[in-house]
Amino acid sequence: MPDAAGVPLLDALFAPRRVALVGASDRAGTLGALLGRNLASFPGEVVAVRSGQSLRDVEGPVDLAVVAVPAAAVPAVAADAAAAGVAAMVVLSGGIAETGPDGAALQAALVAAAAGGTAGGHRVRVVGPNCFGVQNCDLPLNASIASGLPAGGGGISFVSQSGAYGMAIYDLAHDDHVRFAKICAPGNTSDVSVTELLDALADDPATRTLCFLLESLPDGRAFVERARAVTADKPVVVLKTGRSAAGARAAASHTAALASREAVWRGAFRQAGVVEVTSGQELLDVARALDGQPLPRGDRVAVVTNSGGTGVELADLLADEGLVVPELSPALQEQVRALLPPYASPANPVDVTPAGSLFATVYPALVDLLARSGEVDAVVPVLLQRSATDPDCVEGVRTAVERLRADGVDVPVYVCWVAPRSARPHADLLQAAGVPVLDWPARTARAIGRAREAARARDRVAARPPVAAVAVTDPEVPDATYPVAVADLLRGSGIDVVPAALCTTADAASDAAAAAGRFPAVVKVARSAHRSDTGGVRLGLPDATAVRAAAADLLTGSDAVLVSPQLSGVEVAVGALRDPSFGPVVMVGLGGIWVEVLDDVAFALAPLSHAQARDLLLGLRGAALLTGGRGTAPVDLDALAAVVGRAGAILTSRPGVAGLDLNPVLASPAGAVAVDWKITV
């Protein structure tokens, strides 16, 4: 989207025609001098704006201003940029919002000045402050504090809320011959958000794989909704830090932002097709796997190794990722056997054995044969010791993969590398040709697992279009302390609720139970958040007399009780809440009152389609309880999914509702009925 100067954000940041360096200096050791050296390779014009000069004095248009001045001077520079018509500015200066209230006020002044409040000014888009900067590896543009620029020609673009990772990318690219497209570490994200960067890079032809390291995400819903539109075409990989209590404290102090619960993040990302990873190392491994090869279409993996033990280890680790190493068909085994020594194994893993004289011919031939066989969805040659140090073997594997791509064979090939440092130039040969080289079986299996997850996410997201919020004719919210009124709201929203009579005397409770004629019965206090924890529930009451006694006991500490028939089924917790980052969110979990103990829960953004609600339920670890595990009858999953979807619809359609708990919902072959409920307004 163009800014007020008519320059698209992507172009202003990553492909400017003219750059101004504000704070330019020739003095060694200064930030201005470092940036001057880094910008020397930029093919366009770089205008030096030194101490005592102003952007207002620069003749001609400036697309990007790179700012390296003391923190106190930054708002004035922003005002100058707005007056001069600068499209965007990258503020590397630190000591601003991350330092406390005074710094926060300084950042607010920066944002206000960049908004163009002065006469004749226009809005300048700001990356930073306190940031690493931006890089375009293809242009080249190094408007950052990094010591160098990664090689271009790759499809990986990386946005990191950790500036240290932004700088580390150069070392990774140099050491492992990984190519990148664009890199940005936006620091305090005072203006240009991570979501805007996602939006801009999603439309970038040079970007094929988008990677994010996130510490906070205030506009979480916007990010997820945009990611959902992207993941059908380009993988989006996210590392979310601050999951632990200590990590959340560190993230808050570093970014002045609040963190959402880990489970909410995970559910939102999964719903959008985002691949979530757990470490920076894994993020970069997965990026290489996704960018270098096609996505695997299925779960079947062929392993080629010259070490039986390593092959077995890799097969086990792949199984941990939900992948399979299938036994090859007899016909294919015969073709494989023809390439191997007589004592080698043609099964899968294919064990070449230490027959070093054959590596240069056998490895490439097996990669080609297995990829074309139709029996596997990915091929993993394990190169270790002699095979990794044999240049003819490595070149043969590279050539085999290039031939597969030229012939339109879309089965990916990933190299598992277990070799000495001296063999690293051979790995570089493969990596430079787009063949991902992944160190050791554990990292290899994990990266392939995430690549397969990306493929499943792409297919799932493509088949599940976004759902519009539900409109209601009556958005009124009932008195949350009046359970019968809340039950009426639930029924009006299409959620089946157990019949319950509100009674203020023991005789009324007995009469209500007798009139219903359904025993055993349940009596519970009417207004308690956790009745089972406080002794506020009586179960299995066989007749009206037992109901009277139970009601009399409970009414000694409560003004009213609810009387209802006792139902049976699988206990499921269904809830909805308003998350500070993601807005209306739905939760499902198994265990009823034990849901917090079992911790088998999943989250998704509301509203949900029926298919999305089913997916959420089937993603629970204990989903077999719902689908008929160990010979039990399956519950009515469609009825349960409808409850989940309608719980989310209550929040999306009624702004006055802050939270909803249906716990438990009893799911059975006959349907799904809420037997306890609470609403928060």
Whether residue 534 is contained in a domain is answered as: yes
Length of the chain (residues): 681
Q: Indicate the pTM of the whole model.
A: 0.89
CB within 8 Å of 73: residues ≥ 6 apart: none
Whether residue 624 is contained in a domain is answered as: yes
User: What is the CB neighbour count within 10 angstroms for residue 6?
Assistant: 10
Same domain, 430 and 362: yes
Q: At what angle do helices 637-653 and 610-618 cross, to 10 degrees?
A: 120
pLDDT at position 261 over 90: no
> Which pLDDT belongs to residue 493?
92
Contact at 8 Å (CB) between 218 and 447?
A: no
Structural domain for 511, as ranges: 499-565
Same domain, 145 and 269: yes
Same domain, 539 and 632: no
The domain spanning residue 116 has which CATH number? Answer: 3.40.50.720
The domain spanning residue 626 has which CATH number? Answer: 3.30.470.20
pLDDT at position 531 over 70: no
pLDDT at position 341 over 80: yes
The domain spanning residue 405 has which CATH number? Answer: 3.40.50.261
Peptide bond before residue 2 is cis, with ω within 30 degrees of 0: no
Taking Cα atoms as reference points, which of 505, 517, 306 lies closest to residue 419?
306
| CA 70 to mean position of chain CA atoms | 36
CB within 8 Å of 272: residues ≥ 6 apart: 224, 225, 227, 228, 231, 236, 461
Whether residue 60 is contained in a domain is answered as: yes
Separation between Cα atoms, residue 172 and residue 167, nearest integer Å: 9
Of residues 322 and 559, which shows the higher confidence score?
322
Whether residue 193 is contained in a domain is answered as: yes
Q: How many CA atoms lie within 13 A of 560 on its CB side?
A: 12
Domain boundary among 511, 537, 565: 565
| CA 72 to mean position of chain CA atoms | 36
Whether residue 69 is contained in a domain is answered as: yes
Span 153-171, pLDDT tens digits: 999 999 999 888 888 888 8
Domain boundary among 290, 306, 341: 290
pLDDT at position 255 over 50: no
Phi-psi region of 189 (alpha: psi -120 to 50; beta: other; left: phi over 0): left
Whether residue 470 is contained in a domain is answered as: no
Same domain, 262 and 348: no
pLDDT at position 2 over 50: no
Average the pLDDT over 360-377 and give the result.
98
Whether residue 389 is contained in a domain is answered as: yes
> Which pLDDT belongs to residue 510?
97
CB within 8 Å of 434: residues ≥ 6 apart: 291, 292, 293, 401
Same domain, 204 and 343: no
> Which pLDDT belongs to residue 596?
78
Taking Cα atoms as reference points, which of 10, 240, 228 lies closest to residue 134?
10
Same domain, 516 and 584: no
Q: What angle do CA 499, 502, 506 make, to 5 degrees?
A: 115
Same domain, 37 and 109: yes
Same domain, 208 and 59: no
Same domain, 165 and 261: yes
Q: How many domains does the chain have?
A: 5
Whether residue 485 is contained in a domain is answered as: no
- pLDDT band for position 1 (cuts 50, 70, 90): very low
Span 614-646, pLDDT tens digits: 999 999 999 999 999 777 899 999 999 999 999
- pLDDT band for position 257 (cuts 50, 70, 90): very low
Same domain, 535 and 628: no
Same domain, 264 and 380: no
- pLDDT band for position 465 (cuts 50, 70, 90): low
Average the pLDDT over 97-125 and give the result.
85
Q: What percent of the chain has pLDDT over 90?
A: 73
Contact at 8 Å (CB) between 630 and 547?
A: no
Same domain, 250 and 339: no
> Which pLDDT belongs to residue 176?
81
The domain spanning residue 560 has which CATH number? Answer: 3.30.1490.20
Domain boundary among 127, 142, 168: 127
Separation between Cα atoms, residue 444 and residue 465, nearest integer Å: 33
Span 408-438, pLDDT tens digits: 999 999 999 999 888 999 999 999 899 999 9
